[in-house]
Structure 1
C-alpha cells in the first residue's frame, strides 16, 4: 500500500487519496473497521453520478441489495460523483452492511475507470472482491473470499482476475467480429499471416 500511494502523496494529486465517510454511516463503519482504519473482508464497488442522471446510482443500489440478500459480508461503495436523491435514500438502517465513502473524481482525459484501482486502495480492505455496478451477488458468493485468502499470499501477491466476456479469439464466433479494438489480438506477422501464441485455459 505504501508503494502504491507514494507517488501520489508527493505530488499535486495528493487530494486523490482523500476519502471521507458518507454522513450517517458512522455506526456501520465502526462495526466493520478496526481502530487502524482497516476491515478484514468486503465487497468493493466504485461509481459516480453526474448531473441529474441517477442511472448508475440506481444500478449500484441493486448491487447493494443483492449483497444484503445473499452475503454476510459488508460492501464498501466509493462514490466519485455527486450526491443524488437515490444516494440520499441510502441509510445505515436500510443497508446495515453498507459503508459509503466519498472521494474526489479524476479529471479528464484520464479514464473514469481508473477509479476502480483507487477504490481498491481507498477502501482499506484486507481481502476484497471488487464488483462493478452492473454486477450482482448471488448465493454462494462468499466462497470467493476463502479462495482469495488461500490463493493470494506473500509468495503470490497478485489479484485473481476475471476474463472479459469477449473472446478476443480470431478463430472464435462469439462476438469478436465488429469490435475494432480487438484487432490487436489477430497476431499478424510482417508477412501478413496470423500466428497467435498458444492460449491458456480461460
Structure 2
C-alpha cells in the first residue's frame, strides 16, 4: 500500500507523538546552527521537506531569518502548498518551496554548497545502500563549516551508529546525536572538509515504500 504522505503529517498535531517530539528536537538544533553560523548570507536546502514543520517555524522568529535563502523540495503538491502558505504567512521571502523529486541532485544545483542541509524523514524510508550514497552526496551539498541535520528511527535495526561512521568518513564531525532512550532519532553533523562538485542528473535515493 502506498503511504499517504499528506495524512502522515497529522501526527504533528499530537503533542505526544514521535513526530512532535522529533520536530521539537530538530527545531532546537536548527536554532543552535543558526545562532552559530557566521555573519552574512546563508543558504539552506531541505530534502523531502514535507510541510516545512522544521525549518519554517524556526526561521519565522529567528534574528537571522532575512539572511537565509532556502529551498524546500517536496514531491507531494499538497504538502508543498502547506509549506508555501506557511512561509508566505511568516513573511519569509527567501524561502522557496519546489514541487519535485528531492532525490535528484539537479534540484539543488544552484544553491549548493549550503550552510544548512536538512535530510529529515528520509533515512527511515530508503535502503541502507541509498543512505550511504546520500551521506556521500552530503559532502557536495554542504559547505565547509555547514551543518547537516538528519533523522533515522532508533528501532531495530539501529543504523544510527553506522550512519555516524559514514558521515565521519566523508569529513563530518558529530555535533549532536540522540540516544536510543530519546526515541526521536535526530543527528547533527558539521562538515569540516572541502565540498566536492555535485554531480548533475543523479538520483541519490529511492523510497522503498
TM-score normalised according to structure 2 size: 0.33
Q: Which has the higher strand share?
A: 2
Q: Which has the higher helix share?
A: 2
TM-score normalised according to structure 1 size: 0.34
Greater Cα radius of gyration, structure 1 or 2: 1
